[in-house]
Amino acid sequence: MRPFVICALLLLKVALGDACASGQHTESGQCCSLCPAGFGVEVKCGKQDTKCAPCPQGKFSSSDGLGPCLRCAKCPPSVPMFASCSATQDTQCECDNGYFFLSAHGLCAPCSKCTGYEGVTRECGPQGDRLCQKCGPGTFTEERISTKPCQTCTQCSDSEVEIRACMPNSDTLCMDKRLHILSHPGLDEPDATSSGVEEGMDSTGTPKLTPQVEGGSNNILAYVSVLAAVVLGLLVYVAYKCWRSCKQKRALSKARAAELGTSPEGEKLQSDSGVFLDSHSIQDNQPSKGTKRDSKQDNRLYINLPPHRQEEMERLLQEGGGRGWRQLGAALGYECEQLDLFGRGEAPAHTLLSNWAQREGSTLGLLCSALARIERPDVVTVLTCPTQGVSVV
């Protein structure tokens, strides 16, 4: 019956708000007292209340509690003492900047940093490590990792309107109320002056620009200037693309003229006639003299090779075992870092040849020479096999 009465008394005290600070009670239901700073527990709370005793020399107790006095820490040999140990305070050692004295281990430890958009409430120093806390109402910090306290939120002025309220990780966002920059306040609210001239009008009756309107005009000029710069940049970009496209077309025209053994004027006549002969097909169909054509004299561009032959080459190089696309890339002058980057993709052979085709002078002759150096005659055969037909434009 007695334990039941004790429990009932404790529940009644908690319900009435008289909670026990120590969280412990005697057998009779009395709240156990806490030992003040500078005192340690001599007899624990049980049948009777807690008995406390002053901390002897060499020990301390810095806060109220139910624990014994703790032994004073000692500074490391190379660290000077900032404050000696007392009954209510542990030894304080003067560590270097960015460090604090960790008395539990007797060494200088690096200061912590506030994370998760928290602000500093106590700086790191002789008193201990840096303390952090979430920014409360009216304060904020925009740094995820910070060593500074929370900043006070900005208050929008009377001439501004609040667009976004202050949050723990961002400041208040304000905007000027003067949205109608071309308005004429003097004309909207006429008021006769002593001289009989309406406000906002000059002596001749012409509307007078207020400072607000003049500022708006300056803003318009700034916007127009930015727009003109953007348009000019676009025109320069389009002109550069057209120049590059014409340069590529001239290079292709010279390559085809070299294949046919004709001058650019003859090629122009062919284009004017409305019919274009596929120079690749004509040259491939010419009878050979018992040997293959010298690949070094083949000035055709790889980018103009039919797609099905490009795909066949890529397949052979992809399945080439020890002498595949990587060896070909090295023969074409690529560095190991570039080849490793190509190898991360699903089709490194296609990536290599597509990248090489964008280079200037990427002819079939150079490609055949590289394939010969890595001893891949099967791929050379696919590269130089004749095509059929005449294409009409």
What is the per-residue pLDDT for 341?
Answer: 83
In tens, the pLDDT along 292-311 reads 444 445 788 888 888 888 88
Where are the domains positioned within the chain?
A: 2-71, 81-110, 210-274, 278-384
Q: For the chain, report the end-to-end CA distance as a whole number of angstroms.
A: 110
Cβ within 8 Å of residue 186, ≥6 positions away: 198, 199, 200, 201, 207, 208, 210
**329, HSE (Cβ side, Cα atoms, 13 Å):** 24
Residue type at 385 in one-letter notation: C
CATH number belonging to domain 278-384 = 1.10.533.10
Which comes out higher in pLDDT, residue 171 or 340? 171
Q: Which of 146-155, 201-210, 327-336, 375-384 bottoms out in mean pLDDT, i.e. has the lowest? A: 201-210
Say whether 278-384 and 2-71 share the same fold: no
Radius of gyration of the chain (CA): 44
- Please tell me whether the overall predicted TM-score, pTM, comes out greater than 0.75 for this model: no
Among residues 301, 358, 350, which one has the least CA distance to residue 325?
A: 350
Mean pLDDT, residues 332-338:
88
Maximum Cα–Cα distance across the chain: 121
Alpha-carbon separation of residue 17 from 13, 62, 160, 349 (angstroms):
6, 27, 47, 78
DSSP-derived pairing of the beta strands 145-146 and 160-164: unpaired
Q: Is 201 helix (H, G, I), strand (E, B) or coil?
A: strand
pLDDT tier for residue 32 given thresholds of 50, 70 and 90:
very high
Beta bridge partners of 174: 162
* Fold of the domain built from segment(s) 2-71: Tumor Necrosis Factor Receptor, subunit A; domain 2 (2.10.50)
Residue-wise pLDDT tens digits, 120-179: 999 998 778 999 999 999 999 988 888 899 999 999 998 888 889 999 989 999 988 876
Span 85-114, pLDDT tens digits: 999 988 889 888 889 888 777 788 899 999
Residue 287, CB half-sphere, CA atoms under 13 Å: how many?
2
User: What is the spatial distance between Cα 292 and Cα 295, in angstroms, rounded to a whole number?
Assistant: 8
pLDDT-based confidence at residue 290 (cuts at 50, 70, 90):
very low
